[in-house]
Every structure is written in structure tokens, then in C-alpha cells.
Amino acid sequence: MKILNTFYIRTYGCQMNELDSEIISTQLEMRNLKKVSEEEEADIIILNTCSIRDLSEKKVLGKLFEYKKDKKDKIIGVCGCMAMNQKDKLLKKFPHLDFILGTNNLLDINKILDDIIQKNTQEKKIDLNYEIGIENFFAKRENKIKASISIIRGCNNFCSYCIVPQTRGREVSRDSNSIIKEASHLANQGIKEITLLGQNVNSYGLDKPNSKILFPDLLYMLDKVDGIERIRFMTSHPKDITKDLMLALRDLKKVCEFVHFPMQAGSNKILKAMRRTYTKEHYLEKINFLKSLIPNVTIGTDIIVGFPNESDEDFDETYKLFDEIKFDTAFIFAYSPRQNTLASRYDDNISNTLKQQRLQKLLKLFHKNLKTKYDKLIGTKQEVLVERLNKDKKSLKGRTRTFEKVLFAADPKLIGSLQIVDIKNFSHQTLIGELI
């Protein structure tokens, strides 16, 4: 019988995956396994995977080929979106893979390990339905200052390019009592900032017709949790960013003035083909309304370039809208066709070279606009949640309410506290300041 002492877990992809890894790790630690930071030292290797783009999957496939050559007597497992997406195909292709565990089976990890030890067979658990009991499992967090809390799992939107509804299933909101309980539990452990997570947090509560608690209501409830100083959330779908939500953002002391507001494209033709359900005019209207209510709000976006049939004119529209809005954070991706999505039926007819050119053009614009924004922040005073010691071991790093990174010299004892910092300069994407 195998004796297991240590495990290594590697997370790919989004913050939801990071949180799922923490849930898995907590259970393995409850079984007295020790987490190690080098895979060579581990008896169990777990890859918690992402399928959002082809590149994300390729990285994991590369790792699995590597283990094929040199598995030793380790147990190797794949969790997350690739387990959901590829299912048995993965087990067949990689006979040395011991298990796959889906996004709705996080609490089954120890049962899977027991089965492998007893039977020495390939094991799988990949349910499509929301996992019972997950609401009341509070993972141990590594970060002692800030933590994510899952509030809704899955997505009902079926944007034509996106695999997430297949890998994470339909939307299921978590019970509000258990969310509040976890937030209080984290606050008692000293956590100062929480990020509410979901593929689409703004749909919170809509899947429960009898529930009167929608996303803005949840924010009002969480704002009252003692000890929590800041509340953030992601991701939002623009169609669900309602006036009530904007008012909550304006009026609640702890809810930070930053919204991830993924635009994806600025051409109505492409937005329609993406099934985003809004036009560029609606999108801009919402952004302008948000900015009129909260003048200092910062806005993040995701953009996909090179979607099928994206002409130079379509890209130009994206470029102009991107320039007009002046985003504060931007994740820009080259389109990558995903199996069984609606868009995978369209011809992927934009060359990789053109996709990369468009991506670089937007990135250049983003950095140019960012410089103008940082110039304006010089001379302002910002509230910073001090998160950690900087790599130079001399200064401290933290973030403003509006999500800008800040570096300043001060005593490490201040880690975990809110401080006011006078912004003097900036370098790359970090503001540099002095403690007041």
C-alpha cells in the first residue's frame, strides 16, 4: 500500500481556481498531508486546470507528457476545467494519470485518494450539478490579509466563444447566510479584504426565484461584517450592472470603487456574434452613468481580439472605444476557438499574426493612457491596505481602494493595516509614495 505524506498543487487560470485549490489543499491537510512547493518532493501532484484558451490547456498537456516519462511512484491528478471538458479522453490519453476531479467534486478528493490506494485503478468524479455541502466548507487561506469568497458558481450566459458554461455548469447562488458566516469567520482570523467571486456575480440570487436577496442586497449585508475593511467583487457581466448595484458601490463604505466591466469588443457586429447581449452604445451609457455617480471609480476590462470575421473597421471601433473609456486594468486576449462552443462553428479566419498585431496595438494604447492617469495621481493622498513586504525587503506594498498598486517605505508592522500615502511618483504600473 502506498504511504502518502506530501502533496504539490499547481493552479492555472482564474481566481475561482485559486480558491478551489485552497479548498482541495485544506482537505488534504486535514488528512495530515503536508503541502510542498516543489513537485519532486511530492507524493501526490495535482494540476488544477483551466480551459479558457487553447494555450491554457497546452501548458497542462505539456506537464502531463513530462510526467509520462518520469512518474516515479507519485499519484498524479487533474482537477478543474480540463477534467470537466475532456473527461475520459484525458484518462485514455494519459494512462499514467491516476485521477480526474471536476469543479463540482472538490469535497471528493479524499475519497478518490482512498479508492486509488485500495484499488490501484484510474478514478474520476465529474458531476455536472452543484456540489452539496460546498457552501459550508471554509477553506484555510494562505494569505492572511485578503481572501476570496465564492458567492455563485457557474454561468448561464453562453457567450459564443466561451467554454465556461460547459466546464462550470449553470448558475447556482450560495446561501447568503453561509456567505456572511464565512466572511465573519475570515474577519475573526484577521482578514481585512474580501473579494466576492463568481463567473457572473451580478446574477447573484436570480436563480432562486423565492429569494429576495440579490447582489446589491448581499453587498449591504456584507458591509456590516465587523473587521472586514474592504469588499471587492469579480466578474461582472455588463448587462447585469444595474443602477442598484452602482448605488451600492457609491453608498457603501467598504465596497471599493473598482468594477471589472468586460467589454470584449467595441463593434456591434462582433458583440452580436459573441452573444454579449449589449451594444457598444449601451455599454458606454452604463460606463458614463457609473462615472457620473462615482467620479473616482476605476474600471477594468477584458478584450478579445481576432474573433472570427473581425475586420479592420471592427477592430478600429474597439480601439476607439477602448481609448475613449481609458480603462484602468485590461486583460487582452487573442481569440482561441473552444470545442463545442457556438463560435467554434465559425471559421477562425483571422491569422495569428494579425491577432497579435491587434493585441499589441491595444496594449500600447493601454500603457499610454495609464501614464496619463498616473500623472494625475501624483500629489493625491490615497488610502492603502498594506499587503506585504516588497521584494527589496525595505518597502511595503499595498493597493488603493481603486486597485492601484502602491509602494512606500515603512515599518513592516504596518502590514495588514490601512494607511494614508502621499503619491509622489510612479514606475511601471506601481505608484510610489510616502507614508503620512
Q: Which is nearer to ligand SF4, 39 or 57 (CB)?
A: 57
User: Quick one: what does residue 304 bind among ligand SF4, ligand 5AD, none, with the CB cut-off 5 to 8 Å set by partner type?
Assistant: ligand 5AD
Binding-site ranges for ligand SF4 (CB under 6 A): 155, 157-159, 162, 164-165, 199-200, 237
Residue that the C-alpha cell 468594477 belongs to: 259
6 upstream amide cis, omega within 30 of 0: no
Q: Which residue is nearest to ligand 5AD (CB)?
A: 302
* DSSP secondary structure code for residue 174 in this structure: P
Which lies closer to ligand SF4 via its Cβ, residue 8 or residue 307?
A: 307
Q: Which helix (H) or strand (E) holds 334?
A: strand 329-334
The span of 23-31, 284-292, 331-339, 427-435 binding ligand 5AD (CB under 6 A) equals 331-339
**Judged by CB under 6 A, does residue 264 bind ligand 5AD?**
yes
* Bridge partners (DSSP) listed for residue 299: 259
CA distances from 271 to 147, 166, 433 (A): 33, 21, 40
In 135-282, where do the E strands start and end?
146-150, 152-153, 172-173, 193-197, 230-234, 258-260
Q: 245 touches which of ligand 5AD, ligand SF4, none (CB within 5 to 8 A by kind)?
A: none
Task: Give Cβ neighbours of residue 228 (< 8 Å, ≥ 6 apart).
Answer: 183, 186, 187, 191, 192, 193, 194, 222, 254
Q: Determine, following the binding rule CB under 6 A, whether residue 84 of this chain makes contact with ligand 5AD.
A: no
Give the footprint of ligand 5AD on residues 134-163 (CB under 6 A). Answer: 161-162
Binding mask 274-313 for ligand 5AD (x = CB under 6 A): ----------------------------x-x---------
Measured CA to CA, the distance from residue 90 to residue 215 in angstroms comes to 37
Pattern 185-224, binding to ligand 5AD, x per CB under 6 A? ----------------------------------------
Rounded CA-CA distance 266/318 in Å is 4
Site for ligand 5AD in 34-53 (CB under 6 A): 52-53
Binding stretches for ligand 5AD (CB under 6 A)? 52-53, 161-162, 262, 264, 302, 304, 333, 335-336, 338
